[in-house]
Amino acid sequence: MEGRVRDDPWDSVSLAFTNPQLDDEFWRHRVVQTLCRYDLMIYLYGVLHWASLFLTLRPPPDTPVYVWVLAYPVLMFLELAAVCSSFHRLKQYVEWRTCIVAVIRVCAILVTSITLYAPPGKTPLAAMARLLSQTPVAASVIFGCGLQLPFRLHVAVQFLSCTVAMLFVPSYVKAWELQGEALAGACRSVGGTVDWALRALVWVGPAEAGEEGLRDRCSCCLVMYFLQWVVGFVAPSAFIYCVESYSRKDYIFEHGRLTRKERRTVRRAWRRAVPSAMLCAVIGAVTLWELLKATSMPAS
């Protein structure tokens, strides 16, 4: 590997090494040595999780019974097949892992979007807990961070998953609003808290509770969109960026014969990656919140 590390060991956006051969070697090594074990744990967790939901939950009123009967068993079958493949056909699994992981991640969000939405609680704390745990937000975090892909592919797959989840938000929010003003009030309180926290974080405008400004808006939709994109997309992407850049640094150090100057260059690239990811996550969250507030329509 001597001579393969230049001034910029990897692209600052995609994290791909400037040397394509080195990039392929790194990712194959990481899959075999680390990610296959993580995959196995997430697959087994998924099988147990989907089985428990299938046995304990009732299908939502608007979901056809055949969708409920097929969705969870099909997803469990896909994950069991992935488990068997990772055990008995590791070489083939490594070759096809990107496609397998992408399909399972998108299918998990699709099934969750169709079957798992639960109405938020009637207090702000209960509403936030429900919106994070019993919607596709939780699945986006668990499968997005657990079944890791190269960062450039992770962004595409995670974006597709969140887009799929967003298609189901309006119908569920409409069903929530039929359950009374308490739910809308709880979402409004969550939205006001988010608005205050983000404004205080970046010192944009007065750091006053934003609940009053959200009273005439579709606050449940606004909050759900924000949580899905920020918690389900921005946060996992920042996490994957930091983890992958650290793994690339370690790989270069372990498998390369580097000069002292080259080691400093790699360390400097890693040190830039973490604050850059955090800064982009904060800017993305604030920008997304302001755009959602600007485009949200008054409730009829």
Angle between helices 219-229 and 124-133 (to 10 degrees): 50
Chain centroid to CA 134: 15
Q: How confident is the model at residue 214 (pLDDT cuts 50, 70, 90)?
A: low
H or E stretch at 208: none
Q: What would the pLDDT profile of 98-143 be if each residue is shown by its tens digit? A: 998 999 999 888 888 877 666 666 666 766 777 777 778 888 999 9
Strand partners, 217: 298
Of the candidates 65, 62, 75, the one whose C-alpha atom is nearest the C-alpha of residue 106 is 75
Q: How confident is the model at residue 299 (pLDDT cuts 50, 70, 90)?
A: very low
Cβ–Cβ < 8 Å for 53, 103: no
Tokens of 87: 């055990």
Cβ count within 10 A of residue 32: 15
Task: Give residue limits of the domains in the chain.
Answer: 20-295
Q: Write 27-32 long-range contacts (CB < 8 A, 24+).
A: 27/150, 28/94, 29/251, 29/255, 30/247, 30/251, 31/94, 31/97, 32/90, 32/94
Handedness of CA 156, 159, 165, 167 (dihedral sign): negative
Q: What would the pLDDT profile of 155-207 be if each residue is shown by its tens digit? A: 999 999 999 888 888 777 776 666 655 566 777 777 777 777 777 776 655 54
Of the candidates 49, 61, 67, the one whose C-alpha atom is nearest the C-alpha of residue 104 is 49
Tokens of 144: 């997005």
H or E stretch at 3: none
Q: How far apart are CA 117 and CA 294, in angstroms?
A: 26
H or E stretch at 149: none
Range of 12-21, 125-134, 207-216 with top mean pLDDT? 12-21
Phi, psi of 178 (to 5 degrees): -70, -15
Mean model confidence pLDDT for the chain: 78
| DSSP conformation letters of 38-96 | HHHHHHHHHHHHHHHHHHHPPPPTTS-HHHHHHHHHHHHHHHHHHHHHHHH-HHHHHHH
Q: Give the helix, strand, coil percentages of the chain, each rounded to 5.
A: 75, 0, 20
The residue ranking higher by pLDDT, 49 or 176, is 49
Does pLDDT of 5 surpass 60?
no
Q: How confident is the model at residue 216 (pLDDT cuts 50, 70, 90)?
A: very low
Chain centroid to CA 112: 14
Cβ count within 10 A of residue 267: 12
Tokens of 142: 């668990």
Q: How confident is the model at residue 70 (pLDDT cuts 50, 70, 90)?
A: confident
H or E stretch at 284: helix 260-295
Does pLDDT of 2 surpass 50?
no
Tokens of 158: 């995670």
